[in-house]
Amino acid sequence: MAVCKFCGSEFDKKHNRQMYCNEYCSKEGEKENRRKRRSKYYHRYKNVMHEETKYGLGSGFLSMHRHEEDIKELIAVENEMRRLKIKA
Whole-number Å distance between alpha carbons of 18 and 11: 10
- Site residues, Zn ion (CB under 5 A): 4, 6-7, 21, 25
Do 76 and 61 form a contact (C-beta atoms < 8 A)? yes
Minimum CB separation of residue 40 from Zn ion in Å reads 23
Minimum CB separation of residue 81 from Zn ion in Å reads 57
What count of other Cβ atoms lies within 10 Å of the Cβ of residue 26? 16
Minimum CB separation of residue 42 from Zn ion in Å reads 27
Q: Between residues 24 and 55, which has the closer beta carbon with respect to Zn ion?
A: 24
